Amino acid sequence: MPMFQKNSDIFNILAEGISEGIIVVNTKQIIVATNTSAEQLFGYEKDELIGKSLNVIIPTRYHSQHTSHVSNFIDKGKKRRMGQGMDLNGLRKNGEEFPVEAGLNPFKIYGDTYVLALVTDITERKNYTLKLEQTVQERTKQLTEALIKEKELNELKTRFLSLVSHEFKTPLSGILTSITLLSKYTKTEQQEKRDKHIATIKSKVRQLNTILSDFLSVERLDSGKVNYNIEKFALSKLINEVIYDANMLLKTEQHIQYPDNIDEVQITFDEKILGLALSNLINNAIKYSPEQTTIKIIFRREAEYIYLEVIDQGIGIPKSQQKHIFDRYFRAENALLSQGTGIGLNIAKQHLENLGASLYFESEENVGSTFTIRIPKNQETKKPKDDEETFTDRR
């Protein structure tokens, strides 16, 4: 210390010209000199740090290891930067911690050894680095999500184009074949054959119409252009219409079991949407069930809801794929040989949920499936607005 007092003027002139904080300690780690920047940095008055232990400006948790580090550093006598690769904090007089960077330089003067520490407050730099890291992480996350979404969209696009090509090609080929054969049946006694091919053409046209209706429904749902018409109607009338249309699709000795407790039931809902959903469920039940099976329609009431169940004895849905069954364009692996767009269930579920209803199922592979429509009893009657499009597609 006497040496620094003797040369204080020279030290002060040099030290005060530096914006970083300067702390000089002896081998006992007692502070023997500081500059104004260091005092302001650690919140002390002029010369208040002189004679104090270096530990006063170091957080308590670092004291034990810091003492040994300084001793080793003095013994080696080489300058170095302190805290590289680690977080280093200083301690202000008021107990506040702040991040610092310190360059250490040992030196001897008049036979005594000292260490000069050049201390820099890196709070702003660290905050900037943290903000930069957060920004990079957020951008990386956004980019990753965008790439995943792009990949999913590309896969969806590929699947969609493949599906459209297949689903349109099959009925169009049937229509072309029937038209070609029709031109050959010119005799009166061949009317039965003509009728058969005319029926085939009608069936294929209905199939194409259904596919187009599905795609239009997807576009309307995605664009939010669908409005609903909620009113009271007889459930028996709707189910009669749905079953009448479905009867044309039945396989050999398949039949539909009509619910026996709906003659007086009135429902307040969108009739066309319920017809769409029921038609989809019943048609799927027919498609994925073998011959000589029964498709059951069950109606039941509870306190707040009414339920319509469609129960089949079909191929069922593999357990591992059940979570995807309402995904657009998804088709279970055991259903790929049957015609279908993979859109119907997705559309039905979205429409029902838009109206406060729900669609869910239970299924066991090779045993069958039960799809359930749950509708709240209390529905507010709504009429379509003039500038909105009412849903008109049923099947």
* 121 pLDDT higher than 60: yes
Residue 176's pLDDT is what? 82
Residue 10, pLDDT score? 60
- Say whether 7 sits in a helix, a strand or coil: coil
Report, as an integer, the average pLDDT of 23-36: 91
Model confidence at 51, pLDDT cuts 50, 70, 90, reads very high
pLDDT of residue 268: 93
385 pLDDT band (50/70/90 cuts)? very low
Q: 232 in helix, strand or coil?
A: strand
Mean pLDDT of 89-108: 91
Region 23-34 average pLDDT: 91
Q: d(Cα 117, Cα 102) in Å, to the nearest integer?
A: 6
Mean pLDDT, range 177-204, rounded to an integer: 82
More confident residue, 278 or 108: 278
Whether the predicted pLDDT of 208 surpasses 80: no
Q: Are 328 and 155 in contact (CB under 8 A)?
A: no
Rounded to whole angstroms, the Cα distance separating 195 from 190 reads: 9
% of residues, the chain, pLDDT over 70: 77
Distance CA 62, CA 379 (A): 68
Q: Which two tokens stand for residue 128?
A: 């900037």
- Give residue 340's pLDDT: 59
Question: 126-176, pLDDT tens digit by residue?
Answer: 889 889 999 999 999 999 888 888 887 777 666 666 666 656 666 777 788
Dump pLDDT digits (tens) for 59-86.
988 887 766 666 666 666 566 665 554 5
Question: Is 90 exceeded by the pLDDT of residue 40?
Answer: yes
Rounded mean pLDDT, 81-102 = 81
As a whole number, the mean pLDDT across the chain is: 82
Alpha-carbon distance of 219 to 347, in angstroms, equals: 10
Predicted confidence at residue 297, as pLDDT, reads 96
**Between these two residues, 15 and 122, which has the higher pLDDT value?**
122
* Nearest one of 35, 28, 33 to 70, comparing CA atoms: 28
Full-model pTM: 0.50
CA dihedral over 280, 249, 197, 164, signed as positive or negative: positive
Tell me the C-alpha to C-alpha distance, in Å, between residue 271 and each of 76, 106, 245, 278: 89, 89, 16, 11
Predicted confidence (pLDDT) per residue in 99-118, tens digit: 998 888 888 888 888 888 89
Q: Is the dihedral of CA 16, 22, 26, 32 positive or negative?
A: positive
**Contact between 99 and 88 (Cβ < 8 Å):** yes
394 band by pLDDT with thresholds 50, 70 and 90: very low
Query: What confidence category does residue 182 fall into, taking pLDDT thresholds of 50, 70 and 90?
Result: confident
Q: Choose between 159 and 22: higher pLDDT.
A: 22
CA distances (Å), origin 350, targets 146, 271, 303, 325, 333: 25, 15, 24, 13, 23
Taking the C-alpha atoms of residue 164 and residue 162, their distance in angstroms, rounded to an integer, is 6
Residue 395: the pLDDT is 35
Residue 357, classified by CB atoms within 10 Å of its CB into exposed (0-12), middle (13-18) or buried (19+), is: buried
Please give the pLDDT value at position 364.
93
pLDDT computed for residue 200 by the predictor:
80
Which of 17-21, 150-154, 329-333, 390-394 has the weakest average pLDDT? 390-394
Q: Where are the beta strands (DSSP E) in the chain?
A: 21-26, 31-34, 80-82, 89-91, 97-109, 112-121, 226-227, 230-234, 255-257, 266-270, 294-301, 305-311, 358-364, 368-376, 389-390
What's the confidence (pLDDT) of residue 192?
84
Amino acid 44: pLDDT: 95
Model pLDDT for residues 227-258, shown as the tens digit of each residue = 888 999 999 999 999 998 888 889 999 999 99
Q: Residue 135 carries which DSSP code?
A: H
